[in-house]
Amino acid sequence: MIKVDKVKKYFDDVKAVDGIDFEVEDGRFLGLLGPNGAGKTTTIRMMIGLLDPTEGQILYDGVPMGKDQIDIKMKIGVVSQHINLDKELTVEENMIFAGKLYHLKKDVIKVRIEELLGLLGLSDVRNRVTKKLSGGMKRKLMIAKALMHNPDYIFLDEPTVGIDVHARKEIWKFLRDYHKQGKTIILTTHYIEEAEQLCDWVLMVNRGKVFKENTSGNLIKEIGEFKIETDEDMYFFDSLDQAHAYSSQLKCIYNISKTSLEDVFYKYTKEVIKWKS
């Protein structure tokens, strides 16, 4: 279990993370959902031991994470937000390089490469120089590299930003299948649909704080599964009948639809957020 214990990270006067407190049970597929600038990457960087918190601590099964905590780091795989591949190496060479970093034996590296290339649909491009890959393939290769040492905890920071819908769905399928092996996955995203589709627990983050957490279904149910939107406001209802009954009294233009996670976010923050990068 990972415990994020009252963690803050300040960069001078910027409160990037401003008191975050949550637990990640083993086997969870956890989503940190929030707009750009919410503090997701900073949270991840502290959880993987790249940054020390200004206050608070991160514990893995009770052991505090720190920059020198090699044993815990060996159990972690990280797919960072920005592409960090060796452009001049081939797909396979990139993976061998990652395997060597983790001191894996040659035959283990070979087996892992075959397995991951197959699962991620990269077998046909194994000898292609990385700079010639599409955006989607680069993201897949980053995932493959991060999983070479078969980590227990997998961190993915906005793993599908800037790639086409087709590649995004393939990555989703891969992650869903991989999660079934019992791995703990922590994913950040500003794509609401991504959190809704993949995560079995969602933390809503804004301005360096988690302000709500639950399954995405429960988050929606809590405020009401149907909404009426007018020019002025939004109203939430537990059933379509209730929404219809309410709408019959309205003397303005309105729209009835299903509540989305974005609506949940808006309701609790009352902020209109720019979600796109």
In the complex with ligand ADP, the residue whose CB is nearer, 11 or 211, is 11
Q: Is position 43 an interface residue for Mg ion (rule: CB under 5 A)? A: no
Q: Is position 94 an interface residue for Mg ion (rule: CB under 5 A)? A: no
Backbone dihedral angles phi then psi of residue 2, each to the nearest 5 degrees: -105, 135
Per CB under 6 A, which region of 38-46, 111-119, 217-225, 231-239 contacts ligand ADP?
38-46
Amino acid sitting at position 88: E
Distance in Å, CB of 156 to Mg ion, minimum: 11
Q: Are 15 and 8 in contact (CB under 8 A)?
A: yes
Q: Which residues contact 165 (CB under 8 A, 6 or more apart)?
A: none
In the complex with Mg ion, the residue whose CB is nearer, 189 or 216, is 189
Q: Characterize the bridge pairing of strands 29-33 and 184-189.
A: parallel
Q: Are 174 and 160 in contact (CB under 8 A)?
A: no
Q: Binding partner of residue 39 among ligand ADP, Mg ion, none, CB under 5 to 8 Å per kind? A: ligand ADP
Structure-token pair, residue 242: 């209730």
Strand partners, 17: 9
In the complex with Mg ion, the residue whose CB is nearer, 69 or 81, is 81
Amino acid sitting at position 243: A
Q: Binding partner of residue 135 among ligand ADP, Mg ion, none, CB under 5 to 8 Å per kind? A: none
Q: Which of 30, 38, 76, 171 binds ligand ADP (CB under 6 A)?
A: 38
Can you give the C-alpha Rg of the chain in angstroms?
Answer: 21
Closest CA to 260 of 241, 234, 233, 242: 234
Q: Binding partner of residue 37 among ligand ADP, Mg ion, none, CB under 5 to 8 Å per kind? A: ligand ADP
Q: Binding partner of residue 109 among ligand ADP, Mg ion, none, CB under 5 to 8 Å per kind? A: none
In the complex with ligand ADP, the residue whose CB is nearer, 42 or 90, is 42
Q: Are 200 and 215 in contact (CB under 8 A)?
A: yes
Q: Which of 36, 134, 239, 255 binds ligand ADP (CB under 6 A)?
A: 36
Residue ranges in 3-84 assigned as alpha helix (H):
40-47, 70-73
SS3 state of residue 266: helix
Q: Is position 41 an interface residue for Mg ion (rule: CB under 5 A)? A: yes
Q: Are 211 and 264 in contact (CB under 8 A)?
A: no
In Å, what is the CA distance from 89 to each residue of 114, 139, 179?
17, 15, 29
In the complex with ligand ADP, the residue whose CB is nearer, 97 or 275, is 275
Q: Is position 211 an interface residue for ligand ADP (rule: CB under 6 A)? A: no
Per-residue x/- track, 155-194, ligand ADP (CB under 6 A) = ----------------------------------------
Q: Which of 16, 147, 156, 192 binds ligand ADP (CB under 6 A)?
A: 16
Per CB under 6 A, which region of 32-40, 71-79, 94-102, 137-145 contacts ligand ADP?
32-40
Kindly list the residues in this chain that would bind Mg ion in the complex (CB under 5 A): 40-41, 81
> Where do contacts with ligand ADP occur on this chain (CB under 6 A)?
11, 14, 16, 34, 36-42
